[in-house]
Structure 1
Amino acid sequence: MKKIILVTLALVASLSAQEIYATFNIEADKSANLAFYSSGIIDKVYVDVASSVKKGDKLVELQNDDLKASLKIATASLSEAEVTLKFAKKDYDRQLLIKDLIDEAKFDQYELVYERSKVAVASAKANLAYQQSLLDRSIILAPFDGIIFEKSVEVGDVVSGMMLRTIFKIQSQSKRKLVFEFDQKYWKSVKVGDSVKYTVNGDKDSYTGKISKLYPHANSDNRKIKAEVVANGFIVGLFGEGYIIVPDEK
């Protein structure tokens, strides 16, 4: 009797849902093409294809000794300006205490020196930030944790900011998104959170997941709608097929 009930429940469940066929491609959760937007000669390459990197890791660097020297000069100039401001403020504060006892024009001179010192510090800080930005442009850092999957540069190569050239391609280490495509006639049926069962080409195992994102448009060329399913560990570029399981429309 229990077996009959279980079979009946399974039959009811199968009748209350439909399976929508879909194909998919596997993409990295994150990917980026990295390039210099300043010109120079490659001086150091810190990584290679298949290198795992952390966000902020140094990947490649142009010859930049001149920029480093300029940054040191700018740093020293800021320090000098701050010292000048420190003593200008002391003079100004002393004169402020006896302002009513001294000639107004003389007091104005101290105030002028103090104000100019503040301007000089602000200018030195701006120059330091500018020199730092120039140095930063000579170095490419990893924008996120990931793995290098393409490299097209060696030490001694010349790069030009006028002609952007991809130096590295990076993708997330293991996080993947399966980009499914299904017939647009099901646009009202498929929802975020619907279950998906699928297989990857060349893999005998089957997998399950849930739709995490629905694209808000249909492709006018193939009349398909895209949806994403989060996954891990698959090689980017593989493809597969599966079924989106949704409640039957009443």
Structure 2
Amino acid sequence: MKKIVFLLCIVLQLNAEEIYATFDIEAQKSASLAFSTSGIIGKMNVDIGSTVKKEELLAELLNDDIKAIVEVSKVALKYAKSDYERQKKVQQHINESLFDSYAYKYDNAKVQLKYQETLLDKTYLRAPFDGIITAKRVEIGDVVSGQMITEVFDIQSLNTRKLILKFDQKYHQKVKVGDTFKYKVDGDDITYSGIIYKIYPTIESKSRKMLAEVKAQSFPVGLFGDGYITTK
């Protein structure tokens, strides 16, 4: 039995092929962040190099006016609810249309509060995922536009990276998800190993190269290198 397994391994090794590929290192996640509404930057809580958690508050527009409207809406809802509940207790004794008017005021007050809270929430810019701030494009006092999409911060994942592999198109039927990629980063003598988890379905028209992705950790974004894909 051991002899059979040994021979099978030899056959697999003979059928395996090593395909040369170059790569660039990118963050696993990256995004340019902007407010979805217009206003004036009032607070900035982070800077370039800041490590942030998902949903952490990064920046805030001047919003005292919207906060005041939210408080007014809360008061309006409080009294509309009180009136509605009071009329509901005597509903059978009053005109139906009159009761409906109280129900309408109550429902409308709830909607108005929700609307104002949504406007207030748009004045806060939060981190979409755990990461590190790599660029800051505005300062306190700058005017931003939701329509023109004024970018505020760039963010990328803190440690998780991906290698964007490029290899000759003639191997498009040989390279598969799950193949091993052994590689070296430029300026580093250590040989690393990873598994291809994504293959792009198109070929670059200019370079005639196919692209694939391999997950990695902690390399600085922007580095490059090369290696060999071992096909199964």
Same fold (TM over 0.5): yes
| Counterparts of 1:152 and 1:220, CA distance in 2 | 34
Aligned to 1:37: 36
Equivalent position to 2:119, from 134, 137, 152: 134
Is residue 2:217 matched to residue 1:240?
Answer: no
Aligned twin of 2:134: 149
CA shift at 1:24, angstroms?
Answer: 0.8
* 2:156 is equivalent to residue 171 of structure 1: yes
By how many angstroms is 1:37 displaced? 2.8
Distance, in Å, in 2 between the alignment partners of 1:9 and 1:62 is 66
Distance 1:213 1:121 in 2: 53
Q: Matches of 2:99 and 2:8 in 1, distance apart? A: 86
| Structure number, greater radius of gyration | 1
Shift of 1:10: 8.0
RMSD over equivalenced CA pairs, Å: 1.7
Q: Is the 8 A contact 1:53 1:146 kept in 2?
A: yes
Deviations 1:8-57 (A, max 9, x none): 99865542211000011111111110112322221110001111111111
Matches within 5 A, 1:1-250: 14-93=13-92, 95=93, 107=94, 109=95, 111-247=96-232
- Runs (5+) with no aligned partner, structure 1: 1-5, 96-106
Aligned residues of 1:49 and 1:148 also touching (Cα < 8 A): yes
Gapped runs of 5+ residues in structure 2? 1-5
Amino acid in structure 2 at the alignment position of 1:23: T
Deviations 1:99-132, CA, capped at 9 Å, x for gaps: xxxxxxxx4x1x2232222211221111111111
TM-score norm. by structure 2 comes to: 0.92
Asked if the contact 1:88/1:113 (under 8 Å) is kept, the reply is: no
Aligned equivalents of 1:38, 1:224: Cα separation in 2: 41
Q: Residue type matched to 2:181 in 1? A: V
How far residue 206 of structure 1 moved from its aligned partner, in angstroms, is: 1.1
